[in-house]
Amino acid sequence: MSKSKLNAIATYLLLIGIAILMLFPLLWLIGTAFKSPTENIFSFPPQLLPTQPTFENFKTVWATYPFGQYLANSAIVAVLSVSLNLLFCALAAYPLARLNFRGREVIFALIVATIIIPFQIVMIPLYIMAVNLGLRNSYLGIILPNIATAFGIFLLRQAFKGVPKELEEAARIDGCSELGIWWHIMIPAIRPALVTLAIFVFIGSWSDFLWPLIVLDRPEYYTLPLGVANLAGTFSLDWRLVAAGSVISIAPVLFLFMFLQKYIIDTDISSGVKG
């Protein structure tokens, strides 16, 4: 066997090992959620597959806590966060990528520099702003930190810069306005970047725990992370129920990623340009 094949085999074995280590906690969580009360969830070595699968844990969790309301709240917050983030980041990134004006690079550098600022530093000013605007215990208050992000502006700016200039010039010749170029030419051309950003924002807003915990004190506005935290406090002696609630909270994210992963590919936008 050649050295290249041995290197390939070693690489694949290493990747498989890393994948198993990464997936093991998730598989254990799912297996625990389906285990009956008679099974020992702390056995060693761990038993991933339940011997007597049951849905009773999910039924108990759903009947005890308003997980339907938590799910709806998380969906509303995630959809609003993704929509507003894509809109504002795309509007901010386009002039930074395609328009020439004084101070453009300085503005972009200042925006990117904010990425290194931890959220805990701006948490108190954001909370004061939310209180002054009357946004506590509201959906808008939850999505306030996710309306626009420096990472989103950076990602979309780089995507805009990769669009061939010939497409933009052809649209100008046809009489398209600046806003029309942004909407009809640029936005379709950077669809993979938009989908990628949408997934990042969705996962971040769906799993966010700290900010909703600060800005909410009414249970009817609780999102899934807060609901699972309450669940863990109530059923701390029965981790089967906690696992069932956790599976309910992560299932939408897994399905979303499986549905959208085919769009996270580089499209040949240059095919619309004649050589």
pLDDT at residue 216 in the model: 93
CB 228 within 8 A of CB 62: no
pLDDT at residue 237 in the model: 65
pLDDT by residue (tens digit) across 135-168? Answer: 999 999 999 988 999 999 999 999 999 999 898 8
| Closest among 180, 208, 222 to 66, alpha carbons compared | 222
| C-alpha span between 93 and 154 (Å, rounded) | 7
CB 114 within 8 A of CB 154: no
| Closest among 51, 48, 42, 44 to 23, alpha carbons compared | 48
Same domain, 163 and 80: yes
Task: Report the percentage of the chain scoring pLDDT > 70.
Answer: 93
- Asked whether residue 251 carries a pLDDT value surpassing 90, the answer given is no
The range of the structural domain enclosing residue 121 comes to 61-272
Across residues 73-79, what is the average pLDDT? 94
- Asked whether residue 267 carries a pLDDT value surpassing 50, the answer given is no
Same domain, 43 and 117: no
Domain boundary residue among 32, 54, 76?
A: 54
CB 227 within 8 A of CB 65: yes
Same domain, 20 and 88: no
Report the CATH number that the domain containing residue 140 is assigned in CATH.
1.10.3720.10
Q: Across the chain, what does the average pLDDT equal?
A: 87
pLDDT at residue 235 in the model: 58
Same domain, 193 and 262: yes
pLDDT at residue 39 in the model: 84
Same domain, 185 and 227: yes
Which pLDDT band, with edges at 50, 70 and 90, does 264 fall under?
low
pLDDT by residue (tens digit) across 23-70? Answer: 888 888 888 899 888 888 877 777 788 888 889 989 988 888 888 899
Same domain, 128 and 251: yes
Which pLDDT band, with edges at 50, 70 and 90, does 210 fall under?
very high
Which pLDDT band, with edges at 50, 70 and 90, does 271 fall under?
very low
Domain boundary residue among 54, 73, 92?
A: 54
- Asked whether residue 119 carries a pLDDT value surpassing 60, the answer given is yes
Give the count of domains, the chain: 2
Same domain, 29 and 135: no
Across residues 234-246, what is the average pLDDT? 78
| C-alpha span between 66 and 265 (Å, rounded) | 38
Same domain, 30 and 156: no
Same domain, 168 and 44: no
Task: Report the percentage of the chain scoring pLDDT > 90.
Answer: 50
pLDDT at residue 76 in the model: 95
- Asked whether residue 1 carries a pLDDT value surpassing 70, the answer given is no
Same domain, 150 and 88: yes
Same domain, 48 and 111: no
Same domain, 76 and 208: yes
